[in-house]
Amino acid sequence: MFASLEGRSVIVTGASKGIGRGIALRFARAGCKVLVVSRKLAEAETVVAEITAAGGIAQACVADVSKQAEAEAMAAAAVAAFGGIDILCANAGIFPAAKLGAMTEADFDLVIGTNLKGNFLSVSACLPAMKAAGKGRIILTSSITGPITGYPGWSHYGASKAGQLGFMRTAAIELAPWHITVNAVMPGNIFTEGLHDMGPEYIQKMAASVPMRRLGSVEDIANAALFFASDEAAYITGQGMVIDGGQILPESLAALEEMDPR
Ligand code: NAP
């Protein structure tokens, strides 16, 4: 049904684990050449090994997306390795919690610097290659937290995730003349390695607040990113897609209780 993405060059930031790793594996399975980006070489290389063992093409790249020179080196590495940049999945993000009153200026700057400025720097670094090609796909990983919902301890995180969507809308307009689309996936609670440590009780509690009664998988997010990257999504730009199993829908706890078949 969908045209093949075989041979496309993809940068995935924050690809050493979690959602980014899922996106990297999914695009590799679709035949793309994947630059696996994180701040730690060994972790990025583990994902590269997974991809190549499955017959895919990937290369590791160490870059801190909050630093302009490193974001530029990342884009240069993709061009050197794969001959261009067709798709950027700007996924790297952090979510340390701190409530207002305890949150420091440094806490705020770190989260905004990584999640929001990191998007700006990653996109800016990839633009010369995409503009030269006259096409491109940019997929940001935002969240439901910030654009739609809130969570105690995450005012800085929520601001960064909502900010990504503001950035996206103007970027989409500016880049349309080059046929570069800019869209965002907005995950709900996704089952990543980090969640394992929270214990089964916490996971069960989170799943109970989702109408689908399960947390999302990294593949759920990767599939949406793949759609935004497809030729069939050429006319979609500046849009966020919520992938959350209906998590944002219940207007109260009663709505969730009421839906249970008895
Ligand atoms: P994760 O498992 O903690 O992975 C984060 C990834 O980002 C790692 O590969 C990490 O690698 C990389 N990273 C962090 N800071 C970086 C930086 N400055 N430069 C380059 N790479 C950096 O997180 P996740 O849960 O998969 O989240 C990924 C994205 O999804 C984030 O943007 C997050 O806000 C969003 N999201 C997640 C959920 C969820 O339920 N998990 C829900 C909504 C949105 P290194 O440490 O090696 O650099």
Cβ–ligand 1 distance for 160 under 6 Å, the answer no
Residue pair 160/109 in contact (Cβ under 8 Å)? The answer is no
- 161 CA closest ligand 1 atom index: 34
Instruction: Tell me what pLDDT residue 58 has.
Output: 98
The two structure tokens encoding residue 154 = 């995450």
Average pLDDT, whole number, for the chain?
Answer: 97
Instruction: Tell me what pLDDT residue 195 has.
Output: 82
Average pLDDT over residues 62-80: 98
- Provide the annotated active-site residues: 157
Element (H, E) at 107: helix 105-115
129 alpha carbon – ligand 1 mean position (Å): 25
> What is the CATH architecture assignment of 9-197+216-250?
3-Layer(aba) Sandwich (3.40)
Per-residue pLDDT tens over the stretch 198-229: 888 989 999 999 999 999 999 999 999 999 99
Indicate the pLDDT class of residue 159, thresholds 50, 70 and 90. very high
Cβ–ligand 1 distance for 163 under 6 Å, the answer no
Give the other-Cβ count within 10 Å of 1's Cβ: 4
Sign of the CA dihedral running 27, 41, 144, 116: negative
170 closest CA partner among 113, 112, 120, 132: 120
Residue percentage of the chain with pLDDT more than 90: 94
Residue pair 9/26 in contact (Cβ under 8 Å)? The answer is no
Cβ–ligand 1 distance for 122 under 6 Å, the answer no
Indicate the pLDDT class of residue 262, thresholds 50, 70 and 90. low
221 alpha carbon – ligand 1 mean position (Å): 13
- Can you tell me the distance from the alpha carbon of 186 to that of 165, in angstroms, rounded to the nearest whole number? 10
Average pLDDT over residues 100-111: 98
Q: Which one of 141, 191, 241, 247 would you pick to mutate in the ligand 1 pocket, going by the greatest count of ligand atoms within 8 A of its CB?
A: 141
Per-residue pLDDT tens over the stretch 21-61: 999 999 999 999 999 999 999 999 999 999 999 999 999 99
Residue nearest to atom 36 of ligand 1 (CA): 143
Cβ–ligand 1 distance for 247 under 6 Å, the answer no
Residue pair 156/166 in contact (Cβ under 8 Å)? The answer is no
Residue nearest to atom 7 of ligand 1 (CA): 14
Task: Say if residue 260's pLDDT is above 80.
Answer: no
- Can you tell me the distance from the alpha carbon of 164 to that of 137, in angstroms, rounded to the nearest whole number? 16
13 alpha carbon – ligand 1 mean position (Å): 8
Instruction: Tell me what pLDDT residue 85 has.
Output: 98
Cβ–ligand 1 distance for 192 under 6 Å, the answer yes
**pTM (two decimals):** 0.98
Cβ–ligand 1 distance for 96 under 6 Å, the answer no
209 alpha carbon – ligand 1 mean position (Å): 23
Average pLDDT over residues 81-103: 98
